[in-house]
Amino acid sequence: MSPSLNALFCLGLCLGQGLQAQIGPLPKPSLQALPSALVPLETPVTIRCRGPPGVDLYRLEKLKPRDYKDEDVLYISAMKRHNAGEYRCSYQNGSLWSPASELLELVATGVYEKPTLSVKPRLVVSPGEDVTLQCQSRYGFDQYALYKKGDAGPHKRPQETWYRASFPIMVTAAHSGSYQCYSFSSKSPYLWSAPSDPLELVVTGTSGTSSLLPTEAPSSATETSKTTTIVIKNPDPTTGLIHQSYMKENLARICLGAVILMLLVGFLVEDWHSRKKSPLYRLRAVHRPLPPLPPTQKAHGRQDGS
């Protein structure tokens, strides 16, 4: 085969491979919110779409209301309520469009007052125990979300009763960490309350989790904790009650013994005084003057004769 024919054959082969690659399915892009998809009102957030190298065009869309821009990055300088909602992105190579990315739910937080988060039966637990985290609000929200720092996203749950929802957990080492909860309405699913105060769940018997725990509020779904705090465990209250009971019993015994001892001392003193005074009384009885004698019968007879 001549060199010119070889060149034409190689060119046709390359064009065929390029056309085949273009006809094949394009990989799905990824969509991410930085630093987090939970965005407090008036704070900045960046939405970024990522695809393979050499992309011709990116398209970033917001659903409901429908809007889009042909960019891979959307920067929001101050989060507003209308910015919250569902986002997705795709890209174009040649005449082909990629599949759309997974939906990104951008949530505005701080719209309502924060709820309270509590735990039953206690904060310090062992692996295998059951605990329940309970989120409660003063208002009648029908949806609640629990967020553990370091997880990919919050866990949502409808209300259990009015103003409250429970999140039961069978504890493992992975459940040790910082938790917060949110309340919101199903009619506005992307407008949430401010987060509750952090609650630290301590799982004992795990390396690095029983004494060092994250304390920062949630900032990124993929960010790991950098701030730690030392948790000082309080002594067992049952042991303290038993110790107090023993102390009270011992004090009662000491007081009773002191009373008995004082009574014995009193008896001894009284007996000593009685023994000391008895001889004096006997001596005084001996020295008393004797009573006069009665007159005799002889004296009476003499008087009658005369």
pLDDT digits (tens, 9 = 90+) for 55-85: 999 999 999 888 999 999 999 999 999 999 9
pLDDT score of 293 more than 80: no
Q: Are 68 and 46 in contact (CB under 8 A)?
A: no
Q: 31 lies in which domain range? A: 27-109
Of residues 170, 164, 157, the one with CA closest to residue 117: 164
Instruction: Name residue 148's beta-bridge partners.
Output: 179
Mean pLDDT, the chain, integer: 75
Q: Which of 24-28, 150-154, 244-248 shows the lowest per-residue confidence on average (mean pLDDT)?
A: 244-248
Does residue 224 share a domain with residue 117? yes
Same domain, 145 and 208: yes
d(CA 123, CA 133): 10
H/E stretch holding 86 reads: strand 85-93
Q: Is residue 246 one of the residues assigned to a domain?
A: no
Higher pLDDT, 232 or 280: 280
Q: Measure the CA–CA gap between 138 and 132, rounded to whole angstroms.
A: 20
**Same domain for 120 and 92:** no
Sign of CA dihedral 204, 209, 211, 213: negative
CATH number of the domain that 176 lies in? Answer: 2.60.40.10
Residues 120 and 223 placed together within one structural domain of the fold: yes
Q: Would you say residue 62 lies in a domain? A: yes
Same domain for 103 and 58? yes
* 39 and 100 inside one domain: yes
Whether 292 is covered by a domain: the verdict is no
Same domain, 74 and 100: yes
Q: Is the pTM of this model over 0.75?
A: no
* DSSP state letters, 226-291: --EEEPPPPPPHHHHHHHHHHHHHHHHHHHHHHHHHHHHHHHHHHHHHHHHHHHHHHHHHHTSPPP
Work out how many domains the chain is built from and give that number: 2
| Partner residues linked to 34 by β-bridges | 46
How far is it, in rounded angstroms, from Cα 188 to Cα 226?
33
* Among 91, 109, 127, residue at a domain's last position: 109
240/114: higher pLDDT: 114
By the 10 Å C-beta count (0-12 exposed, 13-18 middle, 19+ buried), 86 is classed as middle
Structure confidence at residue 276 (pLDDT): 59
Distance (Å, rounded) from C-alpha 97 to C-alpha 93?
Answer: 6
Structure confidence at residue 256 (pLDDT) = 77
Characterise 163 by phi-psi region: left (phi > 0), alpha (psi -120 to 50), beta (else).
left
Tokens of 135: 């989120």
Specify the higher pLDDT residue, 19 or 293.
293
Query: Do 37 and 71 belong together in one domain?
Result: yes
Last residue of a domain, one of 215, 230, 245: 230
Co-location of 103 and 36 in the same domain: yes
117-131 tens-digit pLDDT: 999 999 999 999 999
Q: Examine the fold and report which residue of 58, 82, 109 is the final residue of a domain before the chain moves on.
A: 109
Q: Are residues 122 and 186 in the same domain?
A: yes
Give the model confidence (pLDDT) of 8-34 as tens digits. 444 444 444 444 444 568 999 999 999
